[in-house]
A and B are shown apart, each in its own frame.
Chain A
Amino acid sequence: MAKETSIKARTQTFSFFYGQKQALFDINIDMHENRVTAFIGPSGCGKSTFLRSINRMNDLIESTKHTGLMEVDGVDVYGSDVDVVTLRRRIGMVFQKSTPFPKSIFENITYGLTLTGKKSKSELEEVVESSLRRAALWEEVKDRLHHSALGLSGGQQQRLCIARAVSVNPEILLMDEPCSALDPISTGKVEELITQLKDQYTIVLVTHNMQQAARVSDYTGFFLMGKLIEFDRTRTIFTSPSKKETEDYITGRFG
């Protein structure tokens, strides 16, 4: 594999609580620029919680708290002077369930762009095309940009959400099981996309699909019951894991 790139985001003894319930325990991870970092682990082990802590999506849930450090570009994202809106603009997110707005395809893509003020029509059109191209969706929808996004198939909707996320040029792209509702062909397209997108972004991917992690990621972390059991280069995790729990999980003797 290529040599180490710089660290885009990292945590130090990061813990997270839903009320009294602790969901993450002392997590230490470095996420490298232009690399895909994947997280695997059984259901309920805290993968989504971790991902949603990076762009502070968990702020929306009442009575949650964290301890430890979550840094992006060396800045604590929970610091008192951090503007969460700006932070989220820099960190895109693709959810497990595709979430197109009940608006046209065009309006879905331009949504993020128009939040920061009016843009010219040509500028919007340009971004719509380039975003859809990056999400490998342009050819399929270019003739119906002004039709409702809800008319797209599940796989197309998910790629639309990816296009929507990249439309605002985030630095980090968080993807929470982006393929769990997709057929193998759409999954293949999204995976291809991930490998292309990492040239421009730092990608953090949660997946239940071990092959997917092995195929697209450079680093893999294995979570179990809120703890990060092992974190290493993907090849190492899948060929010679150092922890027994990791080996049990990836060989299917667990979960």
Chain B
Amino acid sequence: MSVFSGHLPASKRVLGFFAVLVAAFAAVAIVGLIVSMFGIFIAGGAQHLSWSFLSEAPRNNNMEGGIFPAIFGTALLVLIMSILGVPIGTATAIYLNEYAKQTSVFARSVRFAVNTLAGVPSIVFGLFGVGFFVQFLGKGLDGMMYGSMEAKVFGQESLLWCSATLAVLTLPVVIVAVEEALRAVPRELREASLALGATKWQTIIKVVLPNSVTGILTGSILAVSRGAGEVAAILFVGVAYSMDGNVGLTEKFMHLGYHLYVLATQSPDVEKALPLQYATTLVLLGLTFLLNFTAIYIRSRLRTKA
């Protein structure tokens, strides 16, 4: 090859061509996958989506009626999960970012724990939920409040303990999102507040947190959408096979993701259950997308406002 030639060597050109080809193929494949996924669910489940499907309780071994208890249960689950998890996650993030010395052993241990928590398989959280919340905390509470560890009020699988388990599972998501938001608050604003004679706490409450609302909301919504789709973590902690519409905090409840699993594995008639599965999937996906879009929307709204 001539030294005067500005072209790449032929081997490199061929390589480049293949790289582009592979990338293009991958892109098409991904889009195709998503389209066919939705296609299957819509084709298989759409005709089953009806008002009664959304608003009625299941009957006849889940083969008839609707999935309202599962929708309602899932919504309650993520609501309680957020009430439990978001304040704790936010507080942890505030501690890590505002109070802890970045080099302190304690802060680094907490950070390590958070990162580890993020990598733990969700089924492990499920076992933890049974062991810690149901057996230890729940039975302990029963012992204290009702005089017997076997009172079966708190000491049994329930919506409450599922929410608590999911709160722990989604804690890293909240912490990371809030920390990111706290870090984005300019140092100048904190200094301006402190220079006016504000305490550190006043500065956090009046300047830092209002400037991190976006991050806290995004973190919460990401946690919620992660929690809404999680099945393995609550498998042993309180989900029910089938129920009517009534839900109690210390009782079992129906859940969309688990309901899918039930339909797929425990139906008396697998053929007949398939459209129900698809329809349930559509509802679950719709819910998740709705939450994610809400997060994106809030984010962009607050960003343009600031």
Residue ranges of A at the interface with B (Cβ–Cβ < 8 Å): 55, 57, 60, 62, 85-86, 88-90, 92-93, 95, 97, 99, 101-102, 111-112, 115-116, 161, 164-165, 168
Min CB distance A63 to B, Å, is 9
7 tightest Cβ-Cβ pairs between the two chains A and B: A89-B197, A112-B196, A93-B195, A99-B192, A99-B188, A88-B197, A115-B198
| Bound complex: CA A60 to CA B189 (Å) | 13
Residue ranges of B at the interface with A (Cβ–Cβ < 8 Å): 101-102, 186, 188-199, 202, 206-207, 210-211, 306
Question: Which one, A60, A116, A161, contacts B194 given CB within 8 A?
Answer: A60
* A57/B194 in contact, CB under 8 A: yes
* A115/B197 in contact, CB under 8 A: yes
Question: Which one, B101, B196, B197, B202, contacts A86 given CB within 8 A?
Answer: B197
| Bound complex: CA A101 to CA B188 (Å) | 10
Main secondary structure of the interface of B (DSSP, over half): helix
| Bound complex: CA A115 to CA B228 (Å) | 41
Q: Which residue of B lies closest to A174 (CB)?
A: B195
* B195/A57 in contact, CB under 8 A: yes
Given contacts A86-B197, A88-B195, A165-B196, contact A115 B306 (CB under 8 A): no
* B189/A115 in contact, CB under 8 A: no
Min CB distance A93 to B, Å, is 4
Min CB distance A35 to B, Å, is 21
Min CB distance A159 to B, Å, is 14
Given contacts A101-B207, A102-B211, A111-B206, contact A85 B199 (CB under 8 A): yes
Chain A residues lying within 8 Å of B188, measured Cβ to Cβ, are 95, 97, 99
Min CB distance B179 to A, Å, is 18
* A168/B189 in contact, CB under 8 A: no
* B306/A101 in contact, CB under 8 A: no
| Bound complex: CA A115 to CA B195 (Å) | 12
Q: Which residue of B lies closest to A93 (CB)?
A: B195
Given contacts A111-B206, A115-B202, contact A101 B192 (CB under 8 A): yes
* A168/B197 in contact, CB under 8 A: yes
Chain B residues lying within 8 Å of A112, measured Cβ to Cβ, are 196-198
* A99/B196 in contact, CB under 8 A: no
Q: Which residue of B lies closest to A55 (CB)?
A: B195
| Bound complex: CA A99 to CA B195 (Å) | 11
| Bound complex: CA A90 to CA B196 (Å) | 9
* A57/B191 in contact, CB under 8 A: yes
